[in-house]
Each structure stands twice: as structure tokens, then as C-alpha cells.
């Protein structure tokens, strides 16, 4: 079920009404409703894969409780290894099996031996990369005595499968989300209204910005050799805004929806395209995944408090794993390597934490140096996104090669230039609103709150009208494939 579908528009009010009707009863009644709603939500895609969510939930629920019952180090280590093996094993089979088969064949072909193995017809279950990491973080935290295991199976199953963030995050930690299923939820009008504003902004980013960009991005990337360098360059920029509008839009809708039910998720995007270096970008982009890799991979490897050689190793490991997490394709690995190369000089010069405050804090306009830093960071990010979007490494190389041709200095050409200008206008609208609200959690959190009510609601209705009139063709969220 897509957030931008009629099905969801019917689903959410029904669940919302039923949820708050049972508010006066036991918390278990609300949790049971949420679990049924979450499984129904996922079953709209393919009910057969619900068994994987149940298996992952049951495995880590049992292992978490076993960890709390024993102090034997070897036993605890074996339990942790079992959890990691079960979850990563499932993820590896569904996501990477054919990749490793193809890589195995490529190695033999390189040495002159042709193999013709049968590829498995494997469907990648939506959301498996997200809920797998969510349950893993629970088991690891219980093992490390950072949280206590829960005896409440219903709350734990809800934590794993809560429908707003089930298929594309944010990847919530048990420390933040699980206790919220144990507490009584009381309807908070302010929280619900803010959730609706965030949903509205998320829909604008997804339906208006991302889906309109997608039409041209698909057209350009699918036939790069037929377009001029200037068109290809603009196409890469459009993809940067497509993936941002698509993924951060999903996160906004997920976070806003959770607030309707009295839950608080962590912020997942913090206006990353206003970053002044790549380190700041990764503190602001897909924050739930970045912090997951930091806490469960980078720090256990020694982080930055090790010798220089190990620092370099750790940076490449975390970005390579991040790239591989996104998909079974060498393009994602190269994307990860590029980001590691961007990040490395900042780390070695101890400048990776020089931009912790919001850019141009307290000022309406940034300085020349800040503008330059943001542009350079954005261009570097766009260049890496080409590999992320391309179907193969060779396609990405052709794309980049054609950008740096004489045709780069020609006028970009599109099938429908009026719609292209409209799409660019929506991107500018996005940038202006987010720049003005760059210190908040989402662009509509505080914007227009001081305006008179009729004007404020007229503004919200204008956004809603833009969504209905100018929304692009309905498309799945990009991160569903990861």
C-alpha cells in the first residue's frame, strides 16, 4: 500500500478512528489494533512475506528474553550470533543471492571459463532491509545491556512491524520506540495537527517534486547517449531532487502518521542539501541509517580513535557496507567508495565535525563562503548520485563522459519544456521553504503559525491543491527497492 494512493487515503482514517475509539480500554487493545493494521498494510503488497516479519519478530523476541535470563558470556555470544545469522541470512538470501551468483560467474569468465548457472527467481520483500536492522539493533542493545528485554510480545511485534515506518523507515531504535508501546497514549491535538502538516509537506515533496522529476530522470538516464551534456547534467540534478523528495517525503509522511497515533519518531532528514561538506551531509541524510552504521559498525571497529591506517579502513568499510545495503549492484559499491573518498580528507584533517550548527544560523542569507561550500558539496553529491541511479557501471561512465563533452555548453532540451520549467519551479519552492525553516524538523512545523488563521489555512489548501493538480504519475517510492 503506497502512502500516495487512494487505498491509504481510505485506510488511515479508518484505523485512526478505531484506534482512538479503544483509547479508554487497555493499551493491549490499541497495540493489537496496530498490529492487525500493520500486517494488513503490508499484506496489500504481498501477504506471503508476512511470514518473514513474523519470523524475524519471533526470533529476536525469544533471543532477547534468553539474553536477559543468562549471564554466561559464551551463551550470550552464541545467542547474539544466532540473531545476526538469522536476520542477515534472510536479508542476504533475498537481496544478494543472485548478485553473488553473477559475480561468481564473472570471475570464471574473466579466466576464460564460461558458466551457465540457473539464476533464482527471487522477489525482494519490501522493507526487509529496514525491519531487519530494527530487530538487530534490539538484540545487540540487549546483549550489550543498553536496554532490557521486553516480556510483552505484542508490544515487540508492534515495534518491528509498525506500519508508518515498516517498509522504508526511519529505522527506529528499541530504546526510543518500544517504550512508547508500553505507555498509555492520549490524543494530543497539537501533535496530531503537526503530524498532518508534516504529512502534507511529505506529499508535496513526493508527489509534486519527486514524481515530476522522475518523468525526466527516467527519460534521460534510460537513453543517455541521445542527450546533450547540459541535458545530462540537469538530469543528474533532477535525480538529486527526485531521490530527496521521494525518500525524505516518505519519512515525513511516516513520522507525521505516527504522530496521529501518539508516537514520536526520530528525525530522518535535516535539510541535507544545505550541507557545507560531505560529513555534514551524512549527519543530515537518512540519519537513522547513518547513526545505525555509526553505532553498530563504525564505533565497534574503533571509530576515529585509532591509528591513521585503521581510520581509513573504517571509513571505507562503513561506506562500502552502506552502498551494499542499498542494493546488489556494483554501482552502489562505487557510490559508497566515492562518498568515502569525499569524507576521508575531512577525517584526516580533523574537520569532519566543523559544521555542527545549522548553516547561516540567525541570518536570512548565507555568506559567500557558505554558498560556495554548499554548492561544491551539492555538486559532489550529484556526481555520486549518477552511479546510484545508473543501471550499471558502464552506463554511469557513459553518462559522465557525455556530460563532459562540447554539448555541455548547449541549451538543455526536453520533450515538454513547459512542464520542465514547472518542475524546476516546484524545486525552487521546496528550497525556499526549507531554507526559511532549516532549523526545524520539517518545513511546515513553524512556518505560517503566526499568520491569521484564514490566511494560514489558505496556504495549506494551496499546497493541497498543488498536490492534486500538479502531482506526477503515481510511482512507488524509490527506497521500496532497498
Catalytic residues: 326
On the CB side of 468, CA atoms within 13 Å amount to 7
Residue 268 near residue 292 (C-beta atoms within 8 A) = no
Report H helices in 185-301: 189-203, 211-221, 229-260, 278-284, 287-293
Question: What angle separates helix 27-46 from helix 174-182, to the nearest 10 degrees?
Answer: 120
DSSP states along 61-121: HHHHHHHHH---HHHHHHHHHHHHHHHHHHHHHHHHHHHHHHHHHHHHHHTT----PPPP-
* 481 contacts: CB under 8 Å, gap ≥ 6: 124, 327
C-alpha cell at 68: 536477559
C-alpha cell at 86: 538469522
CA atoms of 384 and 393, how far apart (whole Å): 12
* 364 contacts: CB under 8 Å, gap ≥ 6: none
Question: What does the DSSP 8-state code read for residue 150?
Answer: P
On the CB side of 422, CA atoms within 13 Å amount to 14
Amino acid at each position: 500500500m503506497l502512502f500516495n494512493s487512494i487505498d491509504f487515503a481510505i485506510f488511515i482514517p479508518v484505523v485512526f478512528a478505531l484506534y482512538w475509539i479503544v483509547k479508554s480500554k487497555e493499551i493491549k487493545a490499541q497495540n493489537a489494533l496496530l498490529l492487525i493494521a500493520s500486517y494488513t498494510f503490508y499484506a496489500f503488497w504481498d501477504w506471503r512475506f508476512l511470514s518473514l516479519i513474523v519470523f524475524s519478530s519471533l526470533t529476536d523476541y525469544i533471543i532477547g528474553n534468553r539474553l536477559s535470563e543468562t549471564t554466561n558470556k559464551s551463551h550470550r555470544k552464541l545467542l547474539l550470533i544466532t540473531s545476526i545469522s538469522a536476520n542477515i541470512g534472510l536479508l542476504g538470501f533475498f537481496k544478494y543471492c543472485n548478485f553473488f551468483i553473477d559475480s561468481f560467474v564473472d570471475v570464471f569468465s574473466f579466466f576464460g571459463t564460461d558458466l551457465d548457472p540457473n539464476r533464482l527467481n527471487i522477489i525482494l520483500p519490501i522493507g526487509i532491509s529496514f525491519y531487519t536492522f530494527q530487530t538487530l539493533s534490539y538484540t545487540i542493545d540487549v546483549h550489550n545491556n543498553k536496554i532490557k528485554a521486553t516480556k510483552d510480545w505484542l508490544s515487540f511485534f508492534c515495534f518491528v512491524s509498525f506500519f508508518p515506518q515498516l517498509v522504508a523507515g526511519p529505522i527506529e531504535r528499541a530504546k526510543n520506540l518500544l517504550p512508547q508501546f508500553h505507555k498509555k497514549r492520549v490524543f494530543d491535538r497539537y501533535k496530531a495537527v503537526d503530524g498532518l502538516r508534516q504529512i502534507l509537506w511529505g506529499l508535496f515533496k513526493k508527489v509534486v517534486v519527486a514524481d515530476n522529476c522522475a518523468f525526466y530522470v527516467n527519460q534521460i538516464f534510460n537513453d543517455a547517449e541521445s542527450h546533450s551534456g547540459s541535458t545530462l547534467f540537469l538530469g543528474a540534478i533532477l535525480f538529486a531532487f527526485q531521490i530527496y523528495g521521494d525518500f525524505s517525503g516518505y519519512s515525513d509522511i511516516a513520522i507525521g502518521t505516527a504522530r496521529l497515533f501518539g508516537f514520536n519518531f526520530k528525525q530522518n532528514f535535516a535539510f541535507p542539501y544545505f550541507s557545507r561538506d560531505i560529513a555534514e551531509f551524512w549527519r543530515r541524510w537518512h540519519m537513522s541509517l547513518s547513526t545505525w552504521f555509526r553505532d553498530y559498525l563504525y564505533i565497534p571497529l574503533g571509530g576515529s580513535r585509532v591509528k591513521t591506517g585503521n581510520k581509513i579502513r573504517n571509513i571505507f568499510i562503513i561506506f562500502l557496507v552502506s552502498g551494499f545495503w542499498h542494493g546488489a549492484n556494483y554501482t552502489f559499491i562505487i557510490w559508497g567508495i566515492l562518498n568515502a573518498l569525499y569524507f576521508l580528507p575531512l577525517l584526516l584533517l580533523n574537520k569532519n565535525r566543523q559544521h555542527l550548527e545549522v548553516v547561516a544560523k540567525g541570518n536570512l542569507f548565507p555568506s559567500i563562503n557558505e554558498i560556495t561550500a554548499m554548492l561544491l558539496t551539492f555538486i559532489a553529491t550529484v556526481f555520486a548520485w549518477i552511479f546510484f541511479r545508473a543501471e550499471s557501471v558502464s552506463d554511469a561512465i557513459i553518462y559522465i563522459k557525455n556530460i563532459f563533452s562540447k554539448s555541455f555548453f548547449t541549451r538543455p532540451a526536453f520533450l515538454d519544456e513547459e512542464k520542465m520549467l514547472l518542475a524546476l519551479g516546484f524545486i525552487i519552492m521546496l528550497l525556499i521553504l526549507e531554507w526559511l525553516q532549516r532549523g526545524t524538523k520539517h518545513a511546515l512545523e513553524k512556518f505560517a503559525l503566526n499568520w491569521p488563521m484564514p490566511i494560514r489555512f489558505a496556504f495549506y489548501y494551496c499546497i493541497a491543491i498543488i498536490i492534486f493538480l500538479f502531482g506526477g504519475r503515481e510511482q512507488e517510492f524509490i527506497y521500496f527497492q532497498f
